[in-house]
Amino acid sequence: MSTPRRAIVPEMNVTPLVDVVLVLLIIFMVVTPQIEAGASVELPTATNPDKENKELKPFTVSLASNGAFFLDRKELKRDALLTELKAVHQKDPEAPVVLKADRGVRYSEVRGVFKAMQDIGFPGINLQVVDRQKN
């Protein structure tokens, strides 16, 4: 007579699954802040800034503290930036633009870029700031 064999009960090992999910979570936590439009700049603070409109998909012009100009995440010289902005305005005259300037950039430089964008003909240029009360 033969002895009855027990049926093998498969067990799922969840440890590798948890490891993979945690690694993916960490990757997303590190990468998400870098996806932000424009260059990384330290924004000036303001009291009672306007609420951000999530429906708009604006072009972002950034002025870094080292004097570099960016259109979205692409670094450009000032003349190339203005040429690109003219092309953007010709494609879509109603395109919204956000100007992000590091708090260390001289005001005259920020005002010069703002005036150049007005001269190109953008209907509204938004200045991005941080709410002083949240800091």
pLDDT in tens, 105-120: 888 888 888 888 888 8
Instruction: CATH number for 45-49+57-134: choose from 3.40.190.10, 3.30.70.260, 3.30.70.1090, 3.30.420.270.
Output: 3.30.420.270
**From residue 74, how far is each of 13, 40, 58, 85, 120 by CA, in Å?**
45, 12, 15, 12, 20
Count how many Cα atoms sit within 13 Å of the Cα of residue 98 in the half-sphere of its side chain: 19
Q: Report whether 59 contacts 81 (CB < 8 A).
A: no
Q: Under 8 Å CB-to-CB from 127, ≥6 apart: which residues?
A: 98, 99, 101, 114
The predicted-structure confidence for 31-68, as pLDDT tens digits, reads as follows 876 666 555 665 555 555 556 555 567 788 888 878 88
Give the Cα separation of 87 and 25 in Å (integer): 39
Model confidence pTM above 0.85: no
